[in-house]
Amino acid sequence: MSELGRDNPQFYLTAPTACPYLPGKYERKVFTHLVGEKAAALNDILTQGGFRRSQNIAYRPACEGCRACVSVRVVVDAFRPSRSFRRILRRNADLIGNEVPPQPSADQYALFRDYLDARHAHGGMAEMSVLDYAMMVEDTHVETRLVEYRRRGPDTAMTGRGRGPLLAVALTDILSDGLSMVYSFYDPTQEDRSLGTYMILDHIERARRAGLPYVYLGYWVNGSRKMGYKIRFQPQEHLTGIGWTRVSAAEAAA
pLDDT of amino acid 110: 96
- For residues 48-68, average pLDDT: 93
Question: Which residues have C-beta within 8 Å of that of residue 26, sequence separation ≥ 6?
Answer: 16, 17, 18, 19, 63
Q: Helix (H, G, I), strand (E, B), or coil: what is residue 233?
A: coil
pTM for the model: 0.92
Q: Per-residue pLDDT tens for 127-182?
A: 889 999 999 999 999 999 999 999 998 888 888 888 999 999 999 999 999 999 99
Helices 83-91 & 195-210, crossing angle to 10 degrees?
100
Give the architecture (CATH level 2) of 81-211. Answer: 3-Layer(aba) Sandwich (3.40)
- Of the candidates 98, 44, 73, 124, the one whose C-alpha atom is nearest the C-alpha of residue 236 is 73
Q: Are 33 and 1 in contact (CB under 8 A)?
A: yes
What does the alpha-carbon distance between residue 38 and residue 205 come to, in Å, rounded to a whole number? 28
* Domain spans, the chain: 3-68, 81-211
Phi, psi at 191, each rounded to 5°: -60, -35
